[in-house]
């Protein structure tokens, strides 16, 4: 798996992304990124559509950053949306 740094301006935010974030959670996300950095790459499709990492990209950009680390996959649009849902919904319990 190759990780590449890309300018945020070349990425396409998926209109179908189901994840929403409150203002408080967004501020906490920014604080976490300030503390630890951008340690989990964004997952994007070959056409540069973000599949996983929308909120982190927005928060990182809000902190004044211009690039993010990305993992690029090669999926058709149906598989892209299924992966987006999997990345947003499949979680363990606390």
- Cβ–Cβ < 8 Å for 83, 52: yes
29-51 burial, b at 16+ Cβ within 10 Å, e below that, comes to: bbeebeeeebeebbbbbeeebbb
Please name the residues in contact with 45: beta carbons below 8 A apart, sequence gap of 6 or more.
51, 72, 73, 74, 75, 80
Is-contact 67 7, C-beta < 8 A? Answer: yes
* pLDDT at 94 (0 to 100): 59
pLDDT tens digits for range 37-47: 999 999 999 99
Q: pLDDT-based confidence at 6, cuts 50/70/90?
A: very high
């Amino acid at each position: 798996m190759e990780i590449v740094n890309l300018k945020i301006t070349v990425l396409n935010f998926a209109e179908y992304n189901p994840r929403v974030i409150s203002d408080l959670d967004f501020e906490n996300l920014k604080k976490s990124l300030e503390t630890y950095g951008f340690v989990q790459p964004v997952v994007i499709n070959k056409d540069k559509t973000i599949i996983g990492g929308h909120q982190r990209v927005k928060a990182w950009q809000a902190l004044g950053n211009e690039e993010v680390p990305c993992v690029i996959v090669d999926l058709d649009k149906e598989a892209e949306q299924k992966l987006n849902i999997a990345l947003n919904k499949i979680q363990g319990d606390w």
